[in-house]
Amino acid sequence: MKRLAILLLVLTLPGMAAATGYTVQPAASQLGFSAVFQGESFDGHFGQWTAAIDYDPTDLAASKFDVVVTVASVKTGDSDRDSALPGKAFFDVAQFPKAHFVTTGFHRNGEQVIADGKLTLRGVSKPVSLEITFKPQASGATLDVAGTLKRLDFDVGSGEYADTSVIGAEVKIKAHLQLVAK
């Protein structure tokens, strides 16, 4: 009986492995993007978002990200753009107040780790892959994220704003998160 208990314990240990859970330090973190309007690049960021981060670079299968963004918190530094983005033609925050990214898995492309996931924005869900750079530190880590999406895949700036010669088709996603281990 004792051998059976030991065998069961040994068989269940691999399934008990879990990635380290991290808490994001909002004051030292930023979730942003870059886009092009009338041939000029501009940067923006979201002021309100949450991120549940569990990550282990040696066990990607146990890792996961879950990020929820309040899209009305968008800021670009241009008052006209900042008042237009929450509107119906772009984010339509009245109907779709949140964007949500959740990982479906991770893989390596050489030395680069890629977080594959599903982004839901304006009620449209599409796969998105993001390059991540994870750097452990004494009490936590930094996590940098970069990727590109096509805004029209999510109906952002559709209708009269669908002209990609005025508003670029691609939006570069970038984030810098300061993490503290839970």
pLDDT at 93 over 90: yes
Q: Residue 91 domain-assigned?
A: yes
- 6 lies in a domain? no
Residue 12, domain member (yes or no): no
- Say if residues 49 and 67 touch (Cβ distance below 8 Å): yes
- pLDDT of 4 > 60? The answer is no
Q: Cβ-count burial of 138 within 10 angstroms (0-12 exposed, 13-18 middle, 19+ buried)?
A: exposed
pLDDT reported for residue 137 = 93
- Listed in sequence order, the DSSP H helices in 24-176 are 79-84
- Domain extent at residue 116: 18-181
In a domain, 140, yes or no: yes
Q: What is the pLDDT of residues 69-92, one digit of tens each?
A: 999 999 999 999 999 999 999 999
**141 domain-assigned:** yes
Counting the structural domains of the chain, the total is 1
CATH number of the domain that 133 lies in?
A: 2.40.128.110
In the predicted model, is pLDDT for residue 15 greater than 60?
no
CA atoms within 13 A on the CB side of 23: 6
Distance CA 101, CA 65 (A): 8
What's the pLDDT at 47?
97
